[in-house]
Amino acid sequence: MQLLNSASRHYSWGSRTMIPELIGEPKADRPLAELWYGAHPAAPSTVGEEPLNALIDAAPDTQLGQRVQADFGDRLPFLMKLLAAEEPLSLQAHPSKAQAEEGFARENEQGIDLSASNRNYKDDNHKPELIVALTEFYAMAGFRPLAQTRELFDALDCPDLARYQAMLVEGEDAESDNLRTLFTTWITIPSANRKQLINAIVDAAQKLLENLPADDWKAQVLRTIIDLDERYPDDVGVLGALLLNHIVLQPGEALFLAAGKLHAYVHGMGVEIMANSDNVLRGGLTPKFVDVPELVKVLDYVAIKDPRIHTQTGTSARVENGTCRAYPVPVDDFRLDCLELEANGTAAVAHDGPLVLLNTAGETELTSGENTETLRPGQAVWVPASDGEVTVNATAKSQLFIARA
């Protein structure tokens, strides 16, 4: 077990204050969007001075263990992050495993450099992801059921929108086809027509908001649509955002996004874990490269009623004077548990594969074999598969996330 030094990612949507306040540092001089705890070659964490991916490459059997190697080869299957969004992220989706393998090979054959701005596929892996809120966290996640979208469109009473409402025929069997038809129509209409449509929707939204209760779900959506249009005038992402679930997570709540689910995080800080990938297909709300045809290829148009996931009692740690919550997901690449200990609480974490343990509140002392590390918020340890059980002692009320495959 050794300290794992995170890799910082500075994106324009990040926050100068959220992560610095968590880790006890002054306000950053530029937006700090993410801290990466993992072995992705684009930004590997380090153990001492050695990149984690190089450490794993040198001894995959001891670092990953037999089970993880058998399932995932010589690559750490997950990537954990601290994410802090001051502004909305791009409207995006991630590919399936088969789509990623095909896209990665295709762009390699085309000679597109891995660091090129127009590169879609940075690796050959899928990217299902889970995010657990540390603060109130606002996200747009997955197409909402069409019954709600019809309700929203009817309330807007916008003549420019009426012709597109006709695409939303009744019947659950037609829901995915309806969404596919409407979304692909919107992202391919001429820019002048798109501008007219968005302006009309925003005008109708402003009028409707004058009479909607503040806690009406439609009010939250419309306020966001207006804000997005101010940030990205006439952007096709504004239309896409009109079709998505708008969700506010409270600390400890989580949502899961499978491959192909359109989404954009809007504001807040959380712990994110995903398959070990950096593949993103963008459709708007960003100055970065947007590839609409490729996005359309990977999108899943099945509506989601609610992308939140319900926690279960965690079984990865034996706990005294605290709790362990698990966030179950339908993929094998990662598991995430949240360990919350009262002062002087303890836990024992057994494992047969690698672990990343990330402290997000309080102070914890971790021991494995003869190694002991004290973690403060934002600090993490790497625990190879060959190391023994990890004992956690909380010197104050603490929160620790446990990532494993």
Catalytic residues, by residue number, are: 282
**Structure token pair of residue 102:** 């095909």
- Identity of the amino acid at 201: I
Is 87 flagged in the annotation as binding? no
CA-to-CA separations, 373 to 311, 344, 390, in angstroms, rounded: 28, 16, 11
Is 92 flagged in the annotation as binding? yes
* 257 SS3 class: strand
Q: What does R_g of the chain's alpha carbons equal in angstroms?
A: 22
Is 170 flagged in the annotation as binding? no
CA nearest 36: which of 22, 15, 16, 52?
52
Is 246 flagged in the annotation as binding? no
CA-to-CA separations, 187 to 58, 107, 245, 303, 380, in angstroms, rounded: 46, 23, 19, 18, 42
Beta strands in 233-334 (DSSP E): 244-249, 254-257, 263-275, 281-284, 308-309, 312-313, 317-326
What contacts 50, CB < 8 A, 6 or more positions away?
Answer: none
Burial label, 388 (beta-carbon count in 10 A; 0-12, 13-18, 19+): middle
d(CA 91, CA 282) in angstroms, rounded, equals 6
Alpha helix segments (H runs only) across 242-340: 292-298
Kind plus residue range of the DSSP H or E element containing 8: strand 7-9
Would you list which residues are annotated within the binding site? 92, 94, 129, 263
Q: Please give the annotated binding residues for Zn(2+), written as ranges.
A: 92, 94, 129, 263
